[in-house]
Structure formats: C-alpha cells, structure tokens
Amino acid sequence: MTIEKFLQYIQYEVNLSPLTVKAYKRDLEQFEDFVTAHGKRRWDVASTGTADVRAWVVELSKRGVSPRSVRRKVQALRAYFRWLQREGAIAENPAADVELSKLPKQLPAMVREKNLDTLLDAPLDEADFAAVRDRLVVMMLYETGIRRAELIGLRDADVDTRAASLKVLGKRNKHRIVPFGAELGRLIDDYRHLRAAQCGPTDAFFVTAKGRGLYPSIVYNIVHDSLAQVGGGSKLSPHVLRHTFASSMLNHGAQLNSVKELLGHASLAATQVYTHVTFSELKNNYKLAHPRAQKKEVNHGS
C-alpha cells in the first residue's frame, strides 16, 4: 500500500482539499525519511510501532517545529494508518495512542462593526468598475460570511437578486443557500451593469477589468487594502470578515444553529467558538461601562 494510493483515496473519495492532500503528502514523506534515516532501508509500515511515532514527535520538537504543526503531522499518520487498517495491510494503528499536548484556544480575529460601517458607508465612485467591485467584495464577505474560495467560485447564475440569495459551493462539494440584504442587492445590480459595459457577457460573477475570474491574491489584496483604510486591526484577511460576520450575527440575536448553517459548518462545535468571542466582547464592554468594574482592587487586609 503506497502513500500515493492513500493520497488518491483522500482526494477523490474523501474529497479533501488539494492543499490538505499536499500537506498530508509532505508529512508522510517526512516520516518516511525519518524512519529510513534511523537504520531501516525502507519504510515497512507493518513493522512501524508507536515508539517510532513518538521518537519522530520528539525529533520534531527538538527541531523547533510548532506544536500545531506536530499535531497535524501525527494526524496525517493516524489517517494513513487507519486507511491501512481498513485495507487489511496492518492490524493496529501505531499513531492512535500517541498523546499530543493541547493547544491553547485562539479566539478569531475580528473587525469592529463601527470600522466596517465607516468603510462601507464611505462615498463611492459609482462609475468606477474596480471601485464598485472592490466595495462589493468586502460587503459580500462581511454580509454573507462566505469563504474567499466560495466567493471566487461564484457563477453569475448563483447570484439571485430577486430572491436575495447566493447559491454557494462549499467544502466537500456541498451547496448551501445564503440570503443577503437589500443594500447588497442594489450594489450587485450596479456592479453587473458596470461589468457588462467593461467586459461583456461572463459566466464568472467576480472578474478583473479584463474579464478574467478573480484569484485568491487579488481578493486578499482588496480586503487588506480596504480594511487598512479604517484601522481594521493586525489581521486584515478575507477570513477575518467571515469571523466578523459570525460574531455580529450572534451579538445581534441570531441563533447559533442558524449561524452554523449560514457558515456551512459541518458541526456546531466549529461555530461555538464565536460564543467565546461575543462573551469576551461583553466582558470588555462591561469593564468599560460599569462604574464599579472600573474601581481598582482594594487591599482589605490593611
């Protein structure tokens, strides 16, 4: 059972993203290099034990590899050995019992609503194709919570202003319908009018001035440069707008399960992180607003 067959399995049967497949390939090849560098001519998966995996983890840590990367590499091994078990090539998964240190939970970065209001309410040259498109990119990411790849993948037929909804192709090739508001609908109509004059008919929804589909770095630059104008924070990526969408929805009373569906999360656990964000925001507001919360601690023992 070769690594290549496993990679084909996770790509074509499990439908993992090309980036994930590439990362798994790199991780498995690194483990193979480690094993063969320690007295073995080749990687014999049947003779690989938990001790080999633990020794690799120690080696990675000594080399300064981050705990997050070590976790991913071991997870790649676990997935590979689990597949080998199903194929009958090995009896046990040697990576299953390798304990990994827990990672500290990092709250998603966000942009403050007032900063986005300043950006999206600013005067706009409605005759400038690029200006209208860039404003629409930011507004759509913030008002719908879709991913950058989902935005790039939008077809013109996927954007329905009459129904005020997007048909989005998400992870694992799952479609979902995402609603949007009247303001976004009007900007979409303006953009389509300018796009037709600039580029003519097109299947892709978002395009360059020459009519080609957008690619990731263009979208990143649009968002980064736009947010930088209003002091968006240290992280100015498209994904920050997705985080901000989720947190804003919860802050304004949306149900957690509804936000899960809008984001296209497979499980509620992935959405629950935003409840921590909203609670953190509440704590900050409390400390700033409540008069007793601002009082310094008093030493009652004196």
CB 110 within 8 A of CB 61: no
Judge whether 171 counts as a catalytic residue: yes
Catalytic residue list contains 286: no
Distance of alpha carbon 216 from alpha carbon 173, whole angstroms:
19
Q: Which of 73, 133, 135, 147 is catalytic?
A: 147
* 276 carries an active-site annotation: no
CB 59 within 8 A of CB 31: no
Please, which residues have CB within 8 angstroms of residue 3's CB and are 6 or more apart in sequence? Answer: 25, 28, 29, 32, 80
Please tell me the distance from the alpha carbon of residue 120 to that of residue 241, in angstroms, as a whole number.
Answer: 13
Given the residues 24, 80, 142, 274, select the one marked as catalytic.
274
Question: For this structure, is 283 an active site residue?
Answer: no
Report the SS3 class of residue 66: coil
List the catalytic residue out of 171, 176, 192, 235. 171
The token duo for 227 is: 């947010």
Length of the chain: 302
- Catalytic residue list contains 147: yes
Pull the structure tokens for residue 302: 């004196």
Among candidate residues 25, 54, 72, 265, the one labeled active-site is 265
Q: Which positions are catalytic? A: 147, 171, 239, 242, 265, 274
